[in-house]
Copies of this chain bind each other. A is one copy, B any other.
Amino acid sequence: MVTVSERVEIEIAAAAPGVPLVRHALRGLLSGLDVSDEVIADIALAVTEACTNAVVHAYPNGAAGTITITASHVGGGLSVTVRDRGRGMSARVDTPGLGVGLPVIAAIAQSVEIGSPDGGGTEMRMRFALDGPAG
């Protein structure tokens, strides 16, 4: 059986200033646990990329929206969900980004699930190992 010992939920406006806030909150959660600096850095990077994607891609033309981030310390790992209520996954070639966000997330996380939740938008559920180097 899985024991949830910590759980954090953060809601930010879908805009650039929210991205570092999420990272800081996550570091706060992780600082109470016995996790190496390397693992914290990896998780901070993957979650930042997921939040940035929600800000940049989910709400086109600067439409207002929110992003909900949930982090829970489950068993020996950390599960982080980044959920927007935007237009859903797009696959356009003319992205303003470098195109490495999803691959970076997938390379760092043990697993990442990208889904289309009821109610619209995109949900990215990442699972991270907390012992040893992540991935």
By DSSP majority rule, is chain A's interface helix, strand, loop, or mixed? Answer: loop
Q: Which of A81-100 contact B (CB under 8 A)?
A: 88-93, 98-100
Query: Which of B93, B103, B115 is in CB contact (< 8 Å) with A100?
Result: B93
Q: Which of A20-28, A35-43, A72-80, A105-113 has 4 or more CB atoms under 8 Å from chain B?
A: A105-113
Interface residues on A, range: 20 to 34
What's the Cα separation between A58 and B31 when bound, in Å? 35
In the complex, what's the smallest C-beta–C-beta distance from A51 to chain B, in angstroms? 17
A114 at the interface (CB under 8 A from B): yes
20 A-B pairs (CB sep. < 8 Å): A90-B103, A90-B107, A91-B100, A91-B103, A91-B106, A92-B100, A93-B98, A93-B100, A99-B99, A102-B102, A102-B106, A106-B114, A106-B122, A110-B115, A110-B116, A111-B113, A111-B116, A112-B114, A112-B115, A113-B113
